[in-house]
Amino acid sequence: MRPSLRPDELLGSLRPSIAALPDSGIVEVVQYGMERPGLIPLWVGEGDATTPSSIGDAAVAALRAGQTFYTYQRGIPPLRQAMARYLSGVHDREIAPERIFITASGMQAITLTLQALIDPGDEVVLVTPVWPNILAALNILGGVVRAVPMTLTDRGWSVDFDRLADACGPKTRAVFVNSPNNPTGWIMPREEMEALADLARHHGFWIIADEVYNRITYDTDHAPSFLEVMEADERIVVVNSFSKNWAMTGWRVGWVVASPALGQVYENLIQYNTSGVATFLQYGAVAALEEGLGTIDAVRETCRIGRDIVCQRLGAMRKVRLARPQGAFYAFLAVDGETDSRSLAFRLVDEANVGLAPGSAFGPGGEGFLRLCFACSPARLSEAMDRMEPMLS
Amino acid sequence: MRPSLRPDELLGSLRPSIAALPDSGIVEVVQYGMERPGLIPLWVGEGDATTPSSIGDAAVAALRAGQTFYTYQRGIPPLRQAMARYLSGVHDREIAPERIFITASGMQAITLTLQALIDPGDEVVLVTPVWPNILAALNILGGVVRAVPMTLTDRGWSVDFDRLADACGPKTRAVFVNSPNNPTGWIMPREEMEALADLARHHGFWIIADEVYNRITYDTDHAPSFLEVMEADERIVVVNSFSKNWAMTGWRVGWVVASPALGQVYENLIQYNTSGVATFLQYGAVAALEEGLGTIDAVRETCRIGRDIVCQRLGAMRKVRLARPQGAFYAFLAVDGETDSRSLAFRLVDEANVGLAPGSAFGPGGEGFLRLCFACSPARLSEAMDRMEPMLS
């Protein structure tokens, strides 16, 4: 019999930063509540609609056609070309296929970009609250986070741009901005994007723009994008994903738009992380771009109805404070007298049988809030509101 | 008009280790030759058979059933259970599902494990020649490689175990062993695995065992595995993939076997790298394990025939020196008078219209050799031999 090690001995043998990596504060609540009969889960960022069949059909056709071999590390040419046409149309300027790199999720688009940029000790300015995975991905690389929290006023969520500019300087390696923002629904105005891009040019830092929700908007066709305030060859990388716009969360396909000069770098990083995205999945993504544009409208319409229900119902609850989100598909609500969002999220599971995500998971500025995903059916949302009302009124 | 940066300015803004990341020395030759009409490509590690339809059918059924949402980060329970049954059967001992974590490729299984272990400056002992991606993945993390090259004698490839043991010590963070070995076909004997595991226990270092080819063997049902010389809770991680055994290279699904105590760590690392593997792909993998065992036999038979053709034909060529591989599906051949394998690989493209991989890509011990993948049809291999013969005789 050989010696076994105790869990603490094994964990103690890992990199300290990895052993200390926080579990996702969202997942913690999900695991607490996921087995409750009848629970309404509004805690993660996905709707309740399956992927449209036309997208699945294209993937199936490619699979049946024997597209089961190693693939292009930057993405198959038809997908990069379809993406170039799509992006050029949305943003009304030419975005060449050579700028586009297909990744195994929007998460991977971020991870690979951080791998390219962040040495241990490098400083990254983050507009927060923000998706917890960004903070964790930086932890893995030893990056140092400098958070610039947004604030909620009567006019909604906003960033004090002077404060953001003050946080940026010669020590800044990169600024990470997620707009439209998960969890607040904030959209960075185009003028602020221009000003931040100018700052980046001045100081020589990078901008990583997470624009995963850029078609989930309510007053415009799409949110302002860094793609519209930059040249092709700049220190600005835009990351995105098929997950939200095309109801493809489970497919794990994302993309990067960056300078063509970084093509070999992304090719290498993809090769040495996962070695590409299944070709047949990529053909599904082509169909999403070419035939699935109606899907975006459908997703957006679901979200608009959801937003109206949630804002109206929550707005009428005495203890609740929230801003009407401009983009993305979350309500980010504060509850009077509740300062521990993790504990409140657990109580909502116990007492209302509704699953929300605790704001504390989203970094500085998030504590005291709860995130609710409204990208689902009106009946489900109304039922959730009914259940939460006694606790929040 | 905003200022554009030159490519060297952009690359100069990246982490130096990333900008300097070598392109895969295999891919370089592939890109040189891939458009040649009629070229016979034997340079990458995959056969010419598509994935069996029963595996595709299972994935399609899950996709059609609407399995398009976010998934379990450690892998869906049916896959972890099917894998536990499969591994327990192959290795004739119980391997619990709690030890199994599903990854987005064998490559990712390695990358995540290195992320968990390697801080910048940490020393990793590598038995070489080895798949170039391992060296690159270590580069990304700032790991320091200490190579222990195998040698080719009349009795085939082998590692001087004393030399391997001498390379390991208190400074060793991990030892990486790929057996059966890509590119040499070497199989580490069970006694050496036991001795290395004892060394690891003594010094407290980790073993990362890449056993991707462990069913591609010619004299046994499977190669010796670290799973057979370890307890569940040790500093030994075994990585593997569906790619080779089930003709699923393009699917990008792999797995890790590690201590259950590392479950939350792998869950986090998966979450923060790619956030899981598409559920419907995982159902394909379940079918591979449950119905596709005949596939392994078919792959192995193709490889056996390919090995016989290649060893017989190359063995008769005057300038060629090679050992009969014990496992994996590569011939690793030296050519008299040729010391620059990269240049020779380019010449074989130009003059024989056959694509091989240069040994120089595989780290210390690889220069002077070429790698040829024989996992394909006899006709294709015979034609390649005919074309190469004038250059190598």
Distances (CA, A) of A300 to A46, A188, A247, A294, B180: 12, 19, 11, 10, 51
- Residue A23 pLDDT exceeds 80: no
Torsion sign across C-alpha atoms B25, B29, B32, B35: negative
- Residue range(s) in chain B whose domain bears CATH number 3.90.1150.10: 14-50+295-392
- Find out whether B374 and B330 touch, Cβ atoms under 8 Å: yes
pLDDT in tens, A59-79: 999 999 999 999 999 999 999
Confirm or reject contact between B271 and chain A (CB < 8 A). yes
Closest to B370 measured CA to CA, from B312, B306, B309, B321 = B321
DSSP secondary structure letters along B123-151: EEEEEES--HHHHHHHHHHT-EEEEEE-E
DSSP tag of B328:
S
CB contacts, 8 Å: B3 with chain A: 201, 231, 234
CATH topology for A8-51+294-392?
Aspartate Aminotransferase, domain 1 (3.90.1150)
Element housing B269 (H / E): helix B263-273
- Cα B215 to chain centroid distance, Å, stands at 13
Confirm or reject contact between A167 and chain B (CB < 8 A). no
Tens place of pLDDT for every residue, chain B, 393 residues? 577 899 999 999 999 989 888 777 898 899 899 889 999 999 999 988 999 999 999 999 999 999 999 999 999 999 999 999 999 999 999 999 999 999 999 999 999 999 999 999 999 999 999 999 999 999 999 999 999 999 999 899 999 999 999 999 899 999 999 999 999 999 999 999 999 999 999 999 999 999 999 999 999 999 999 999 999 999 999 999 999 999 999 999 999 999 999 999 999 999 999 999 999 999 999 999 998 778 999 999 999 999 999 999 999 999 999 999 999 999 999 999 999 999 999 999 999 999 999 999 999 999 999 999 999 999 999 999 999 999 999
Confirm or reject contact between A58 and chain B (CB < 8 A). no
Q: Which residues contact A251 (CB under 8 A, 6 or more apart)?
A: A51, A242, A243, A281, A284, A285, B68, B278
Encoded amino acid at A12, one letter: G
CATH of domain B14-50+295-392: 3.90.1150.10
Please report which confidence band the pLDDT of residue A373 belongs to, taking 50, 70 and 90 as the band edges.
very high
Rounded to two decimals, the ipTM of the complex is 0.96
Which of B68, B172, B245 to mutate: most A Cβ within 10 Å? B68
Strands B330-335 and B369-373: antiparallel
User: In this complex, do A235 and B10 lie within 8 Å of one another by their Cβ atoms?
Assistant: yes
**3-class DSSP state for residue B289?**
helix
User: In this complex, do A278 and B137 lie within 8 Å of one another by their Cβ atoms?
Assistant: no
DSSP tag of B74:
T
CATH topology for B53-292?
Aspartate Aminotransferase; domain 2 (3.40.640)
Confirm or reject contact between B343 and chain A (CB < 8 A). no
Torsion sign across C-alpha atoms B123, B128, B130, B135: positive
CB atoms within 10 A of CB B106: 27
pLDDT at B1: 56
pLDDT in tens, A117-164: 999 999 999 999 999 999 999 999 999 999 999 999 989 999 999 999
- Find out whether A171 and A204 touch, Cβ atoms under 8 Å: no
**A:B CB pairs within 8 Å:** 249
- Find out whether A335 and A319 touch, Cβ atoms under 8 Å: yes
Confirm or reject contact between B70 and chain A (CB < 8 A). yes
Encoded amino acid at A94, one letter: E
Confirm or reject contact between A136 and chain B (CB < 8 A). yes
- Find out whether B103 and B255 touch, Cβ atoms under 8 Å: yes
User: In this complex, do B231 and A67 lie within 8 Å of one another by their Cβ atoms?
Assistant: no
Residue of B nearest to A198 (CA): B2
Distances (CA, A) of B131 to A73, A197, B238, B254, B362: 17, 41, 16, 16, 6
Rounded distance, CA B192 to CA B284, Å? 35
Interface of A with B in 204-243 (CB under 8 A): 204, 206, 230-235
- Find out whether A389 and A61 touch, Cβ atoms under 8 Å: no
Confirm or reject contact between A268 and chain B (CB < 8 A). yes
User: In this complex, do A68 and B60 lie within 8 Å of one another by their Cβ atoms?
Assistant: no
Which of A271, A295, A376 to mutate: most B Cβ within 10 Å? A271
User: If phi over 0 gives left and psi between -120 and 50 gives alpha, with beta otherwise, what is residue B337?
Assistant: left
pLDDT in tens, A25-57: 898 899 899 889 999 999 999 988 999 999 999
pLDDT at B292: 75
CATH topology for A57-292?
Aspartate Aminotransferase; domain 2 (3.40.640)
pLDDT at A1: 57
CA distance B346 to chain A (A): 20
User: In this complex, do B233 and A272 lie within 8 Å of one another by their Cβ atoms?
Assistant: no
Confirm or reject contact between A262 and chain B (CB < 8 A). yes
Mean pLDDT over each residue of chain B, to the nearest integer: 95
Residue of A nearest to B133 (CA): A272
DSSP tag of B234:
S
Confirm or reject contact between A34 and chain B (CB < 8 A). no
CB atoms within 10 A of CB B155: 7
Confirm or reject contact between B171 and chain A (CB < 8 A). no
- Residue A283 pLDDT exceeds 90: yes
- Residue range(s) in chain B whose domain bears CATH number 3.40.640.10: 53-292
- Residue range(s) in chain A whose domain bears CATH number 3.40.640.10: 57-292
CB contacts, 8 Å: A117 with chain B: 14-15, 18
